[in-house]
Amino acid sequence: MIERPVEIPSGPYRLSGTYCAADSSLPQSIVLMIHGSGPLDRDENFGTQRLDVFNTIAHHLAGAGIASVRYDKRGCGASTGDYHTTGFCDLISDAVRVMDWIRKTYPEVSLYLLGHSEGCLIAPHAALRRPDIAGLILLCPFVERMESVLMRQAVQIERELARLPGIAGTLNRLAARLFGTPTATQRKLIARLRSTKQDTSRVGLRRFPDKWLRELLDVDPESVFRQIDHPMLLIGGAKDVQCLPEDVSRIAALSPAPIESHVLEDLTHLLRCDDGPPSLMGSRRLPDKPIEPAILDLILRWVCKHR
């Protein structure tokens, strides 16, 4: 297996990434990997949180002779730019620029787009701009509108806080009474985003990417998936509380595309399995586990079937 660094221009910015392949020969197929939300690098890692999603998938594919490209988000890792002022539309444009670079560098290749979480919306948008692709692989896809996602997640946090035992539970519930419940806080955030046009704001000590979330709130995922006619592999998690597992079947019903879909038992949003109850707060222990091997096998089998 070989891995080599790549530098891809995207307007005034430079996206830094990795090309991974079995050897130095010209590839027949390339999978472009597109991140979920957050300031993530090419492997979907951030700071001390190591998910090692895309590098794990890339190495598995390379073992079967399938190449891949993964890149740091704008303003993350070694890529230039400012993550906090980067909007959802900018993320789509960056993905398209990487697609164009792949096409220019490997003009005869079969190109697949792989998205995880938010990447499951970016990838279809990019495919509509550059329809000459072989298919889409969507991990934890969703068709629910973002406002509904945010409010549902806030309700989930409130439920988990209500059940949290000991001093930690007491302190968290006291904080909710003093500073507002998660649902009240989320409603205020959404109202503020809809009333402003600023790119960023300060939320406590954090710099918040207003432009990104405001643009995402305006996206209608149903209308996007109705336009997608490329073959798709959809993999959801039965214990994903961030993207609803039932959205896998909703997407399959919306799109005219040939679709293979799976909802894996015990799979969470972090692509790890958990034998406990579905939880947002409990996800902190999951990165220590490996990615569910069934995901790797399903991706590999599907790409081999369609190339």
Question: Domain coordinates of the chain in residue numbers?
Answer: 2-145+220-306, 147-215
Architecture of domain 2-145+220-306: 3-Layer(aba) Sandwich (3.40)
Does residue 121 contact residue 115 with C-beta atoms inside 8 Å? yes
Is the pLDDT at 173 greater than 90? The verdict is: no
* Distant-in-sequence, close-in-space partners of 25: CB < 8 Å, separation ≥ 6: none
* pLDDT tens-place string over residues 229-249: 999 999 999 999 999 999 999
Residue 100, burial from CB neighbour count under 10 angstroms (0-12, 13-18, 19+) = middle
- Work out the average pLDDT over 175-195: 82
Strand blocks (E) in 57-134: 67-71, 110-116
CA distance 2 to 59: 9
* pLDDT tens-place string over residues 70-112: 999 999 999 999 999 999 999 999 999 999 999 999 999 999 9
Does residue 222 contact residue 97 with C-beta atoms inside 8 Å? no
User: Reduced to 3 states, what is the DSSP secondary structure of residue 269?
Assistant: coil
- Work out the average pLDDT over 174-185: 72
pLDDT value of residue 279: 84
Specify the pTM. 0.94
User: Reduced to 3 states, what is the DSSP secondary structure of residue 203?
Assistant: strand
